[in-house]
Structures are given as C-alpha cells and as structure tokens.
Structure 1
Amino acid sequence: MSGLLRLVPDEPEPAHALAAAAPRARARPRWAADPLDELAEELGGVCAAAVHPDEIAAVLEADGLTGDQIAERYGRHDAFELAAELYARVPRSHPEPDPRPDPWRVAPGPFLLRSLIFTLPGLGYALASPLTDGNRESPGLPAGTGALVVSALVAWAWNQALAHRAYTRLAAGGRAAAGRSLATGAPLGALLATGAALALPAPAGAHAFAAGQVLYLAAATVLLVLGRERLLLGALLPTATGGAVLLFTQPPPGVGVALLLASTGGALFAAGHEIARTRREEGAPAAGPPAPSPLASVPFGLFGLGCGALTALAALGESAVHRTGGAGGPAVLALTLSMGAAEWLLHRCRGLALAALAAATTTTGLLIRAVRVLTLCVTGYLAALTVLALAVGALWPGAPPPDAVRLTALLALGAVLWSGLLLQAHGVAWLPALLCLGAAGTQAAALALSLWAPATGQLLICTGAAAVLLAVATALLGRITTHR
C-alpha cells in the first residue's frame, strides 16, 4: 500500500529534483529568448556554407569568444560544442559564387577596324596591275605572279613568327623589348622576302612592287604588335582613295604608283617612329614570364606559310588551271574582310569556354558545354563569311556569283584558318602549322596533276583539315587544365 500511495504525492517534489529528471525536455516559454537562436541567425551564412563544425568554431574563436563567455552566455562547455550545435541547427546551403568578370569580353569595334586594315592592301594589286602584268598577250596569270606570290609567302611566314616573338617579348620585357625584336626582325624579313622575289624572273615593275609589298608588310607588323592600328589605317588612306577611283575608272599608272608609294612610305615612317618611341621608354623590364626561345616562334611562322599558301591557291587556282579570270579575287576579299569577325569570335570563344567551366559540375558536362561553345562560335564565323562572300560577289564587277561548290570550299578554308588560330591561342602551335602546310601541299599537287577542279580540291582537302582541327579543339576545350 505504501508503494501505491507514492503514486499520488501529497506534496510537490523539490525543484532540484524536477530539474534533474528532465533538464532539456521542458519547452522554453515564449517570453524566454534563446541566445543560441540569435547567434545562429547572426552566423547563418557561415554555418550554412560550412562543411565541418570546426569551420564554425574557428569563426567563433576569431570573434574573440572565450570559454567562460560561451559557458555564461550559451550554456555550452567550449567553442567546439557550440559550433557542433550551430552546425546541426542551420541547414546546409552552399551558395553559387559570384560571377567572375569575363577577361575576354571585348567590343567588336576595334576588330572592324582590323578588318579594314587587312583588306585595304589588296587594292594595291589592282592599282599596280600596269606594273605587274608586263606586256602579256596571253590569258592566264601575269608574268610577275610567281615573284609576287613567293615574296608574299616569305614575308607572311616571317612576320607571323616575328609577331609571336615580339608579343612574347612584350609580355616579358615591355614595349622596349618588343621594339628591339621588331627593329631587328622586320628589316631582316623584308630583305629575305625581297631576295626571294628577285630570284624569280619577272618584269621590273613586278620586282619593284614585290619590294614595296614586303616593306609594307614589315611596317604593318610593327604597328599591329605595338597597338597602332589607327596609324596604319591612316597610312592606307592613299590606297583606299585609289580603290575608290577604280570603281569608276582606271587611273593613270603614275597616279596609282604615287598612291602606293604614299601608303608604303607612310607605314614605314609610322613604324620607325613607334620603334623610336619604344627606345625612349626604356626602363625597368615589365613583370612577366621570361620570353621563350626564338625557336618557339617557328610553328607560328609555318602556320602563316600554310595559311598564305592556301589563300594563294584559292585566289589563283582557277586562273592557273583554266587560264581565265576566276572567282578567286572576290573569295579572298571576303576572307580578309572576315578576319576581324574571326578575331572577335576567338575572344568570345575563350570567354564562353571559361563560363562553361564555371557552370559544369562533371568532366562530361564540361565537354558537352565545350562542344556547344565551339559550335556556336564556328557557326557565327561561317555565317559572317557567307554574308561577306555573297555581298562581295554581288558588288565585284564582272565576277560570277559564287556557286554552291565555291562557296562551300571558301567556308571550309575559313574553318581551317579559324580553328588553327584557336588552337594557337591555347598554345597548340605545331599541329595546325603542319596540317595547314600538308593541306596546301596536297592541294597544289592536286592542281598540278589535274585530279579535281580547283574548287572541288579545295573543298575536299580543307574540309578534312577543318574536321581534324575542330576535333582537337573540342578535346582541348573539354579539359579543365586548358582554362587555367
């Protein structure tokens, strides 16, 4: 009976006994604020992003909370116990990082300017036609074509390698170091290219024009590397004026020669002035990586040689085979006009690839996003090239409209050039160089053996080369290490 009577107490239990029986089970009254809730709200971002309670404990200790303060304010033994409870209370929430600024985002305006700079020198060939044609009476290519093409290819290859070397010196030693490379390399390249032209038989006027051509290319390389595009455009104004006159009438030979001399002389003067300025800027070298060996620029020169040969074959293949004027002139003009868009899309491709890396969560996802980026940029460039080819074909006097085969062949050549430049921008230089040289050699052999029509051979060979380059570019952009 005494046990049963204990089930119904006659008097209340002591307060300390109730507290010992269930110290944490009793609900806190509404009016009693829990200081731990306030702390959890204050450190909500830290607690949600933490991957271990020790991260929260480190923040608590950094805030200056001592063990005595923690025991007095929150009733916990130390920072680790307090951090463990905060970690359990706050749900995990890892916010997305703030979007990084795109280092490759650039305005298209400067690239439109570069398109004009790449295109206007082509008008010089029309102005100099009385010099380069000689006294030819038979159809086909002028007698001085070989000297002009060889000198242009040598100058193109040399200046591509020189530009790469000067850019590396610019990064490692500043404008003064780049100026020294250009001051030595530009005259040497002009001398080599002029010697290559003089080694081939040609009219005296063709030899003179070849010499002026290589001098202009050397000066243009200096100005482009040093970022003086506007000066170069100013030097080209006389040639542009002559091109405008050609739309209405053929100017006298003396006028055309004078305009060409004015452009070449202006470019040489501007280049010399800029090199002199770099010498006055001599000082402490710029902070940057050491410049690589000059041999590192060789594949860039070979790529320039391959691209130049492919472009020359596209321009002259029809005339060389059929002994008549073909559609090569409008096609090459459209190609040079598209180079500004090509450079801008190269920047956009690199920026979009970085965004794809930030958004991807797996290597497969990165590869899929890289394919999308590459497809978007290549399609955009080929669309621009198509529009330009159709526009130039419609405006070119006496030129037939481009048919499906010629237009597709031009797009294949554009894809080769663009994808090769993309690989070079990511440090892959030898593959596009050797592939472009191989494609040019194969196309020249096919023309010599009359295996295909010039446009058909260009279409087949450039399509194969573009497929290989784009496949390598896809694999490259799909690697995480590429974007470091």
Structure 2
Amino acid sequence: MSQRIDFFEDRGVAVLPSYTRTGKVLSTPSSRLAQLVQHLGPVCEIAVDAQQIAAALEAHGYNDRMVLERFGYPNVFELAEALFRIVPRKGTPAKRKIYHFSSALRELSHGLFYGIPGLFYPAVFAWVGAQEATLGLILSAILGWSWSQGMIRLAYVLIGRGFDPEARVLLRNMMFIGLGLAILIPPIIQGNLALVALVVLQMAYHMASGILLLYKRELWLLAATLPAVGSGVLFLLAPDVLGAATTTLVMMVSVLLSFGAAFITTQGKATHSPWKVLQRADWLDTLPLMLYGLLSAIFVFINPFWHWVTNTPIVSGLAVIPLVLSMGGLEWQLRVFLERMSLLLASTNDLGVFARNVNRIFLSVLASYGLLLLVLSLLAAVFLNLRDSESQIFLVANFLLGLGFFVAFTLTSMNRTLRVLLGMVLALTVYLAAFGLSLQGLLPLDGHLSYLLGCGVFTMYLLLVALPVLREIRNYQ
C-alpha cells in the first residue's frame, strides 16, 4: 500500500489527513485513492476518456461533496481526470470471450426465483379464498418490489465505497422494517390472521431473495424454495394429495428458510453505522428507483387487480408468467450489452465508429431478449391453455412490456431513472384514459386493449429516449 501512496504523491495528488471529531487520524486521501484505484482499476484501465470514469464514480454513489471530503478534489470530474492520468491504459483483446456460461446460467435462474411466488397463489386462494387473498397479496407484492429495490440500491452504494459489513447491517435492519410495513396491510383491507401471515411472508420472500441474489447465494435460495416448488406443482397436478392448507404450510416453511438464509448472509459486525455512512443524497437518489419499482409492480398487477374489483376469474393473469420468468434473461442480455460495449470502447478511439455500432449492438441484444420472451409466451399459451382472446391480448401486451423493461433497466443503469419514470407515468395515463373513455363508449376498446395500448406507449417512448442516450460514452463503465 505504501508504494501505491508514493505513486500518487509523485503525481501531485492531495494527501491531507482526515480526522474524526476526537482528532484521531482516520486515513489520508492518498490511501483512500489507492483503495479506489484497486476497486475501479479495470474501469480506469480501459476507459476511453475521463467522462467514462466519472460515470463509474457516480454509479457507485460518489458526489462532489464526498469526493472533496474523502479525496481532496473539488468535484467528481476532477477526480476522474486524475484517475485517467494516473492509471495507465490497458488494451482489451477484441476477441475476448464475454459469454460466460456460469454467469449466464446464474442470471437466467433469477427469473425462476422471481416467479416462485406465483406458484403459491393457487393453494393460497383455495385455502383463504381468492377474493380475500388477492388484494392483500397484490399490495404486499407491490410493496415488496419497491422496498427491495431501495434496500438493494443502498447496499450497492455502501459496497461500492468499501463498506460491505455496513451494507449487511443495513440490509438486515431494512428486512425487519419491511416486515413491519407489511403487517400494516391486512388491517387496512380488513384481512384475517391467515392473510396477515401470507402478506408478511410474501414480503419476507421478496426481501430475502433480493439479498441472496445480491450475494450470489442462488443455491441457498434454491434449497430453501425446493419444498415450496415441489408442493406447489403437486397441488396443481393433484390438489387432493396434500390439500390447500398443507401445501400453504409447506410454502410458509420455505419462505422462512429463505428468510433465515438471508439473515445469516447479512451477519457481520460493522465498524460504522450504515445510517451515518449514507448521506442525504444517497437517500434522494434511491427514491426514484423505489418509485420505479412501485410503478413497475403496479403495471404488472393491473390485470389481477381488475379481476379482484370485478370478482371475475383471474385465469388470464397467468399471461404475466412469461414476463416474470424472462427477467433473468433480461439481466443476462443487459450484461452482454455492457460487456460488448466495453469491448467496443477498448478496440477503437474513433467516436464515429462508436456511434455507428452502439445502436446495432443494443438492438441485437434487445432482439435476443425479445426472442426468449416470445418463446416463453408461446410455451405459456400452449401449456397453460391461454387460447382465449383476452389471454392472448395480455400475452402480447406483456411481451411489449418486457421489451420496455429491458430499455428501462438499461436507462436506470445509466442514471436516467427520471426519464423512465416519465415514460411509466405517461403509459399509465394513456391506459387509464383509454380505459375510462372505453367505459363511456367513446373508444372502441376494452380493459385488455387499453392495457395493450399503454404497454405499447411505454416501450415506444423509452426506445425514442434511449437511442440518443446510448451514444454518450460516459454512460459505460
């Protein structure tokens, strides 16, 4: 480490000491800069310009005030310029293999884990009653989606700054806070004790699965959920073998196991309080992501909510299954896109070549994801018997929504969350307006076609927004 510090001092990097309130020296900016280089070294070595490094710093949660306090530079871009000068460039072989089978398999498995709660519903509805359970489970899923998005984002910020123990403490604390929030849902909808347990456990699964996937504990999550998957499939094939109550009990045990695995994963002793390490800007930056998770969940659960309001069969709600299962493929293809962009940046310094290739690369991975989602949709139509017009409309709508989610994930990874939120609000407004006008007989549409229209608007808007953004080099780490 001392050699690293000397390396920075020789290049004029500020080395003023940092103190606690008691006057004890914590560390110098030079030592912190050495740690930062070790963490962001691969990014700096293949960066085309300083803006690319600045984007990486911002993606890891660094802002101007933090850079000044920790490293002695006035803003993020000054620090990025210094890193660009300090770290020597290293070319990346143009033919480097980027399709890592193990990583792809792990990411594809995430779709299965995201879809597992849907396997719980048939037994739960048979035990509690579909009308009573639907609203509670919808609300807990929406809350779980949004809350998990926020807690994982904050954990990433802490991990990116080298505070892994603090990130684990934060996740552990937010797990229990999330359970407390879930307990408030059943009283609001006048649910019974059984519904309280189901709502809280679904919230627990959302948070636990997010934590285990963050720390690459897919095998732990698989082991915990296997009993639930087995009993759920058995209930679908032969509901009288275990019965609804026993099947639901097995599922509850699986969720508790996954929650316990997440609790073990977050064990650790932190040197600092994560609440003090995180700054106000970190919380403000997390709120748009939580809102995005909230709106995404609302869009996905519009269909089951409408069936709950009208007390009609929810069979067409199965059309969302391909979309949920494809989320792992979305993560996989997004990583492929970013890695292909890294290879492109490493192989050329010509901005014209970069601009000509970026849209082609993006559209090719979008098409790959779309093909996966299409195959899953066709399989669902055959094996789930989704052959009525309503279900087929929802399959097409969710296909468009999946394409929109891919673009949205890409934009959020480039810190364009506000543009995604605008697209989501626009799409929901179009859907609600079209549906309202159709109820009044002013438009020849119904709820299903209105939903299809909203999904189409969402995807087209994001594509128009994304294509110019993709050409900005600073978006790639």
- TM-score by length of structure 1 reads 0.70
CA gap 1:364/1:406 in 2 versus in 1, 3 angstroms: farther
CA gap 1:358/1:173 in 2 versus in 1, 3 angstroms: closer
Percentage of pairs with the same residue:
22
The residue aligned with 1:111 is: 107
Give 1:283-322 correspondences, 5 Å limit: 293-317=282-306, 320=309
Q: Does 1:99 align with 2:93?
A: yes
Shift of 1:127: 2.0
The counterpart of 2:455, out of the listed 436, 447, 462, is 462
CA gap 1:424/1:431 in 2 versus in 1, 3 angstroms: same
The counterpart of 1:126, out of the listed 119, 122, 128, is 122
Aligned AA for 1:295? L
Q: 1:352-409: CA deviations, max 9, x gaps?
A: 2233444566544433311111211111111111110111221125764887643331
CA gap 1:401/1:100 in 2 versus in 1, 3 angstroms: same
C-alpha distance in structure 1 between counterparts of 2:334 and 2:207, whole Å = 25
C-alpha distance in structure 2 between counterparts of 1:438 and 1:194, whole Å = 32
Shift of 1:433: 2.7
Q: 1:7-63: CA deviations, max 9, x gaps?
A: xxxxxxxxxxxxxxxxxxxxxxxxxxxxxxxxxxxxxxxxxxxxxxxxxxxxxxxxx
CA gap 1:261/1:324 in 2 versus in 1, 3 angstroms: closer
Give 1:381-460 correspondences, 5 Å limit: 381-396=369-384, 400=388, 405-444=393-432, 446-447=434-435, 450=439, 452-460=445-453
C-alpha distance in structure 2 between counterparts of 1:394 and 1:429, whole Å = 36
Shift of 1:414: 0.5
CA gap 1:105/1:126 in 2 versus in 1, 3 angstroms: same
C-alpha distance in structure 1 between counterparts of 2:412 and 2:364, whole Å = 19
Q: 1:111-136: CA deviations, max 9, x gaps?
A: 122122112221111221123416xx
Give 1:7-46 correspondences, 5 Å limit: none
Q: 1:137-169: CA deviations, max 9, x gaps?
A: xxxxx1332222122212211111111011111
On the 8 A contact 2:431/2:453 being kept in 1, the answer is no
Aligned AA for 1:466? T
The residue aligned with 1:74 is: none
CA gap 1:399/1:269 in 2 versus in 1, 3 angstroms: farther
SS of residue in 2 equivalent to 1:143: helix
C-alpha distance in structure 1 between counterparts of 2:205 and 2:288, whole Å = 23
Shift of 1:440: 3.3
The residue aligned with 1:256 is: 247
On the 8 A contact 1:405/1:456 being kept in 2, the answer is yes
Shift of 1:304: 0.5
Unaligned runs of 5+ in 2: 1-89
The residue aligned with 2:469 is: 476
The counterpart of 1:157, out of the listed 136, 146, 169, is 146
CA gap 1:103/1:437 in 2 versus in 1, 3 angstroms: farther
Work out which of the two has the higher radius of gyration on C-alpha atoms and give 1 or 2. Answer: 1
The residue aligned with 2:71 is: none
RMSD (CA atoms)? 3.0
The counterpart of 1:218, out of the listed 197, 203, 207, is 207
The residue aligned with 2:354 is: 366
Shift of 1:344: 0.2
The residue aligned with 1:274 is: 265
C-alpha distance in structure 2 between counterparts of 1:233 and 1:255, whole Å = 21
The residue aligned with 2:32 is: none
Aligned AA for 1:206? L
CA gap 1:401/1:247 in 2 versus in 1, 3 angstroms: farther
On the 8 A contact 2:142/2:297 being kept in 1, the answer is yes
On the 8 A contact 2:323/2:399 being kept in 1, the answer is no
C-alpha distance in structure 2 between counterparts of 1:398 and 1:319, whole Å = 19
C-alpha distance in structure 1 between counterparts of 2:194 and 2:155, whole Å = 33
Shift of 1:101: 7.8
Q: 1:234-269: CA deviations, max 9, x gaps?
A: 111111011220232113133112212211210121
C-alpha distance in structure 2 between counterparts of 1:109 and 1:296, whole Å = 31
SS of residue in 2 equivalent to 1:327: helix
Q: Does 1:228 align with 2:217?
A: yes
The residue aligned with 2:174 is: 185
The residue aligned with 2:334 is: 346
On the 8 A contact 2:226/2:254 being kept in 1, the answer is yes
Aligned AA for 1:374? F
Aligned AA for 1:474? L
Q: Does 1:334 align with 2:322?
A: yes
The residue aligned with 2:161 is: 172
On the 8 A contact 1:132/1:144 being kept in 2, the answer is yes
- TM-score by length of structure 2 reads 0.71
CA gap 1:348/1:261 in 2 versus in 1, 3 angstroms: same
C-alpha distance in structure 1 between counterparts of 2:266 and 2:202, whole Å = 20
The counterpart of 2:312, out of the listed 296, 311, 323, is 323
CA gap 1:100/1:360 in 2 versus in 1, 3 angstroms: closer
C-alpha distance in structure 2 between counterparts of 1:454 and 1:319, whole Å = 14
C-alpha distance in structure 2 between counterparts of 1:205 and 1:448, whole Å = 35
Unaligned runs of 5+ in 1: 1-95, 135-141
Q: Does 1:377 align with 2:397?
A: no
Aligned AA for 1:124? F
